[in-house]
Structure 1
């Protein structure tokens, strides 16, 4: 099996989920006595947010690339980001990366197309919801991507930063997010919702969402397991 490098800390809770799910996924594919070769380089989600707010995208690209290069130097054959927001600088980091990057957005887009999604609600950080890097691959394949209202986007970002990035799960936040999905379903006719912040699965899933979820963590992990096991 090839060695996988994970860029973690973006955020910490999703990094733990990635690690656990990748191990279990590899064991399911290759047997319980097989463990993947993994390295984690941890960045700071709040540094990422600040660089996005100040639109210092060259600096953010350098920040992510430094982690990729460290993982490559440690023997990683491929790399994956455990957060979606840093994909905002994928156009900067992809040409300079010394090893292949397995994209969560591409994997999620492919999964949405296979499910027959037509109108996808997008929940994530303010940077993911108000920029095009997540939307464009879906639109290129004929799917519409719908974002919440400006006030809803602000609420989602506030809850992500103050609660979910710290592993804090509150039922009132869950109900507020469910109401936002219901609003998108009723107002815009969404048939799926992309959980495009990797901390959102802490509070949202198919068990409580009004429409089926495109869980970027689950979908990305499946792609990573296949990449590791089939290599």
Structure 2
């Protein structure tokens, strides 16, 4: 099995989910006495968001590459970013990395294609919702991507930064986000909603959505399992 390296801390809550899910999923694949040897380089999600806010993509690339180089030095043969927003510079990181990086965006797009969706909604940080890096692979595959209205985007981005990144799950936030999904389903006729932030599964856990959710964290993990086992 190839050694997996994770750029974690972007944010911590999703890093915990990645670790626990991967460890037990790989144990299930290989045997009851097996746990994988993997490495986590924990960075700061708020530094990532600051680089994006300042449109300092070169600074973001340098910051993430420090983590990637640390993982490679520790023997990582496959690497993944445990957040969606840093994928804004995924292609540049892959070009600079000596080992493969597994894209959460491409994995999610492949899942949408598999389900033959033609129109999907996208939740995430404001950078994920407003930039083109997440949408373009879907558009190329013939899938329309709809984002929430401007005021809804502000609400979602605020709750990600100020609640979910701190491990806080508030009932009021959960109800309001559900209303946004319901509005997009009714008005925009989306067929599924992309949970384009790896902390969003926390808020939608045990929530009855009117449409399927494309959980980018879970989809990414399934792709990573295949990558390290091949």
Aligned counterpart, 1:123 = 123
User: CA–CA distance in 1 between the matches of 2:36 and 2:223?
Assistant: 14
Q: Retained in 1: the 8 A contact 2:120–2:191?
A: yes
Instruction: Give the match's secondary structure for 1:7.
Output: strand
Aligned residue in 2 for 1:84: 84
Asked whether the equivalents of residues 206 and 213 of structure 1 are also in contact (C-alpha less than 8 Å), the reply is no
What residue ranges of structure 2 are gaps of 5+ in the alignment? none
User: How far apart, in 2, do the equivalents of 1:107 and 1:27 lie?
Assistant: 22
2:120 is the alignment partner of 1:101? no
Matched, 1:63 2:63: yes
Give the alignment of 1:1-231 within 5 angstroms.
1-205=1-205, 207-230=207-230
Shift of 1:91: 2.7
Taking structure 2 as the reference length, the TM-score comes to 0.98
* Segment drifting more, 78-87 vs 23-32: 23-32
C-alpha separation in 2, matches of 1:199 and 1:88? 17
Distance in 1 separating the partners of 2:177 and 2:73 = 41
Check whether the contact 2:117–2:191 (CA below 8 A) recurs between aligned residues.
Answer: yes
- Distance in 2 (alpha carbons) for counterparts of 1:108 and 1:41: 23
Q: Gaps (5+ residues) in structure 1?
A: none
